[in-house]
Amino acid sequence: MASTMIAVDGGDVWADDSGGDGPPLVLLHPGVGDSRIWAPVLAPLTARYRVIRYDARGFGQSPAATGNYSLLRDLIAVLDHVGVARAAFVGCSQGGASSLGLAIEQPERVSALVLLCPGIPGFPMTEEEQAALIGQEAAAEIDAEFKRALAAGDIDGIAAVARRMWAAAGDTPEVVEQTRSAARAWLSAADFEEEAPVFGRLGEIAVPAALMVGDKDFPPLVESNRQAAARIPGCEFLFVPGLDHFPPLREPGLVLDLITRTLARAGY
């Protein structure tokens, strides 16, 4: 893998590129971790595809944002830098939202979409509806704990709240480190991040697509994913018992199978 820093609007992001003649495949990490989440699936993917991955601003090895920025514009800047005009995308959570945004705004650049518990910007759910899904008391406790940890700059406290929300399948050293990476990013860059709504335009997607989500994921996210998959034409929906918000770490075999199956539909 060839690693480099790539200039984006008002900043830089760390990226690596496996190179080679294989079809390009872009891996986009979740907002609860960084690009190391792909480690369990990286070797088999790089054996077949040209794999590009990077850390969003403030995550992993990328410097923190210092002003407002767009996840979608950063993605486009990375693609332009590495000379990829069209690729397949595997996006987890936040990375899924960016993948959807690109498929809608620049559809000519996307050949296939594999969405792992994706964020769905613009999904119409009120705070009251969200609290009803997770329980009023639990919602209040999570909100209070997160605000206390954030105000104190407590990385371990923020990470613990993140795991309460997103890691219902249990802690592992990899999950703990992913949430600590996310906590550092949230402290440094969360207020600067911009993301365009996609929910109302999912019917425009016209490439092979699949969406995986688990029954141990955050209930409001699960509901948004069910509705999103129903709106994406021809989308394969995979609902996995026991899976939370870390599919590449929990179920790498299932993730690899879904990627291979979906990309085959796109002629890869």
Q: Where are the domains of the chain?
A: 2-124+192-265, 127-191
128 Cβ contact partners less than 8 Å away, ≥ 6 residues apart: none
103 Cβ contact partners less than 8 Å away, ≥ 6 residues apart: 89, 110, 113, 205, 207
When pLDDT is cut at 50, 70 and 90, the band that residue 194 belongs to is confident
Residue 230 has pLDDT above 70, yes or no: yes
The mean per-residue pLDDT over the stretch 112-125 comes to 96
The CATH T-level fold of domain 2-124+192-265 is Rossmann fold (3.40.50)
When pLDDT is cut at 50, 70 and 90, the band that residue 166 belongs to is very high
The mean per-residue pLDDT over the stretch 132-156 comes to 91
Separation between Cα atoms, residue 101 and residue 201, nearest integer Å: 9
Separation between Cα atoms, residue 37 and residue 31, nearest integer Å: 11
- Which pTM value belongs to this model? 0.96
Which tokens sit at 151? 């105000």
When pLDDT is cut at 50, 70 and 90, the band that residue 196 belongs to is confident
Mean pLDDT of the chain: 95
Q: Identify the pLDDT of residue 139.
A: 85
When pLDDT is cut at 50, 70 and 90, the band that residue 192 belongs to is confident
Buried b / exposed e along 64-87 (16+ C-beta atoms within 10 A)? ebeeebbbbebbbbbbebbebeeb
